Amino acid sequence: MQFTHPDIVVTKDGSHTLVNTDNQQLYHSHGGAIQESKHVFIKHNLQNWLDNPPEGSINVLELGFGSGLNAYLTRLEAEKHNVDVNYHSVELYPVHPDVAARLNYPVELNDSDTNRFLEIHTCKWNCQERLSDNFSINKVYGDFLEQDFPTDHYHSFYYHAFAVKAQPELWSNQVIDRMYHALRPGGILTTFSATGQLGRSLRARGYRHEKPSGVGGKREITRAIK
Ligand SMILES: C[S@@+](CC[C@H](N)C(=O)[O-])C[C@H]1O[C@@H](n2cnc3c(N)ncnc32)[C@H](O)[C@@H]1O
């Protein structure tokens, strides 16, 4: 397994993000990494299941583990609300744990137990790891496009690829269709991107498409419900 060493930069809310050294893509909005992730993936996605916990676990699927910020925020929420989350994240270019150890997320989130973030990075890949009573994670090393996903399984899909210009293949109808199968009825897809093309593709596939307002200088984001 080959790790990458992306650069770290500070975003406008004071939290770090990473920059891919090959394509210069930021992992989060320059307007604020923590602010964006909380808004797109927690407030407009996970929160629905925290408010209406399903029987058993909340199953979350993520495209791109990257900095681990979304997994960390999800873990913090799961532990705060005492619900169980099974987190499944796929990553083709894993970040080296030494880089992750320099990210300021635990400090910015006032988490005195920095280990809650670090162990998300240092736990094993390609197997289900239970990190607490409320959070287990399966980080899969591989290409998202080559994975098989169970049908009607996930409550939440965190669609967190790089921008469409950088990776158009990850925004194709094929992905949108496969996620429709993988989500359970009522399952929620959210992403920072809000292109007209994405909205049309989601509606054509049968999702209920919403465009909540964005944060950090972005006008809108995308929320789609199966
Ligand atoms: C916008 S970043 C978001 C990462 C992460 N969710 C975070 O909060 O840091 C996109 C991520 O997708 C990963 N990625 C790119 N192509 C991929 C592919 N084909 N399959 C899986 N992950 C991929 C990148 O390496 C990067 O970590």
pLDDT, tens digit, 9 for 90 and up, residues 76-101: 999 999 999 999 999 999 999 999 99
Confidence band (pLDDT; 50, 70, 90) for 140? very high
Residue 199 CB–ligand 1 contact under 6 Å: no
| 3-class DSSP state of 195 | coil
Pocket test for ligand 1, best of 170, 193, 218 (most atoms within 8 A of CB): 170
Alpha-carbon distances, residue 132 vs 14, 45, 67, 104 (angstroms): 28, 22, 20, 22
C-alpha 27 – ligand 1 centre gap (Å):
8
Q: Rounded to an integer, what distance in angstroms lies between the CA atom of residue 209 and that of residue 201?
A: 10
Joined tokens for residue 84 = 């169980």
Sheet with 58-63, side-by-side order of all strands: 128-132, 135-141, 85-91, 58-63, 154-159, 183-191, 222-225, 208-210
84-177-139-40 Cα dihedral, nearest 10 degrees = -60
pLDDT above 90 (res 133):
yes
Q: Residue whose CA is closest, atom 5 of ligand 1? A: 66
Among candidates 150, 206, 198, which has minimal Cα distance to 171? 198
Average pLDDT of 194-210? 97
Residue 49: per-residue pLDDT: 98
Domain boundaries, the chain: 7-225
Q: What's the pLDDT tens digit per position in 108-122?
A: 999 999 999 999 999
Q: Which residue CA neighbors atom 24 of ligand 1 most closely? A: 64
Does the C-beta of 27 come closer than 6 Å to ligand 1?
A: yes
Distance, CA 210 to ligand 1 centroid (Å)? 24
Q: Which of 17, 63, 76, 95 to mutate to test the pocket of ligand 1 (most atoms within 8 A of CB)?
A: 63
Indicate if ligand 1 lies below 6 Å from the C-beta of 145: yes
Q: Are 128 and 51 in contact (CB under 8 A)?
A: no
Euclidean distance between CA atoms 204 and 134, whole angstroms: 36
Q: Band of the pLDDT at 21, cuts 50, 70, 90? A: confident
Contact 169 CB / ligand 1 (< 6 Å): no
Residue 95: predicted pLDDT: 97
Which of 4, 24, 144 for a ligand 1 pocket mutation test, highest count of atoms within 8 Å of Cβ?
A: 144
Looking at residues 189-206, what average pLDDT do you find? 97
Report how far ligand 1's centroid is from the alpha carbon of 93 (Å): 7
Q: Which CATH number fits domain 7-225: 1.10.275.10, 3.40.50.150, 3.40.50.10090, 3.30.70.960?
A: 3.40.50.150
Geometric angle at alpha carbon 184, from 49 and 219, rounded to 5°: 60
